[in-house]
Amino acid sequence: MQELAEACGGEVVGEPRTRIHGVGTLEHAVTGELTFLTNSLYRDQLQGTRASAVILGPEDRDATQLPRIVSANPYACYALVAQRLFPLPEVVPGIHPSAVIDPAAQVSHEASIGPHTTVGSGAIIGPGVVIGPGCSVGERVVLEAGARLYPRVVIYPDCRIGPRSILHAGVVIGADGFGMARGAEGWIKIPQVGRVIIGADVEIGANTTVDRGAIEDTVIEDGVKLDNQIQIAHNCRVGAHTVIAGCTGISGSTRIGRNCRIGGGVGMVGHLEICDGVTVSGFSLITKSITRPGVYTSSIPSQPHRQWMETLANLRALPQWTQKLKMLEAQLKKNSKEEE
């Protein structure tokens, strides 16, 4: 356990030679596993846990007699410990015989390319890159050192993936943005000639899509974490270390600042500016730029159907009530002047 504590900068209290081979929840961990406590709501479960050791904060230092790792940030400590216990598989360099590599592509001898993958002309595949089965890497794509593509990732031409970034199964990078102009006889497609530039240590969840820019680039900065099934439209920019939960849709040319937290199912209309340090609650609809850090919410909680219908009726009548209120205010001002 001492080695694990050193991995996360925590302090060992109790037997430092406790052997740990896995992790588990407070409720279901067994002997040999390490658990963690980050929420006081689960403190009662700490007393009955069968784990061999626990990670917890300074305020819970004496809440158990189990061997423990005390950390100012127990959840981050747990993440680092879990990484140590469950490292990514080592890269086994080589190109599968069924992969199709264009002769004009540059592939590091330290990269691993899986079966039925295609790599286009002019692509650059750096050292330690892992490309899973069935991926498509387009012309002039750059995959920097240590990038990892899980099965069936598609990267369109000219995009760039930064070092150590992870793209999960089904991710599509660089598809055309939704650019159309209305013509006399229908919609005219606008060529999307920008790229997608993804920074270092980015992680993108399964089936998420990031569209290429119409003219300039779509940019995902360093350390961004995107959940599954997110849509990021053309010419967006997501600031460093921002996290976005699943099923969120970001419309074109929206700029999201650094260190933001965007909940699941959020919708953002296009051409917005979201400043650094903003938190948006899940299922919110953002229609205006946000210029001050803080927590923003726009959803209406669920309620019984009949009550919702009454609320909806009141909302529909709101313009009428607003007009009546203005008339009353005007009448009050008039009466006040007449009395003077």
- Residues serving a catalytic function are 234
Short-list 224, 136, 302, CA closest to 250:
224
111 close to 131: Cβ distance less than 8 angstroms? yes
DSSP class per residue in 234-273: TT-EE-TT-EE-TT-EE-TT-EE-TT-EE-TT-EE-SS-E
Radius of gyration of the chain (CA): 27
SS3 state at 184: coil
CB count in 10 Å sphere of residue 262: 27
Burial 105-141 (b: 16+ CB within 10 A, else e): bebeeebbbbeebbbbebbbbbebbbbbbbbbbbebb
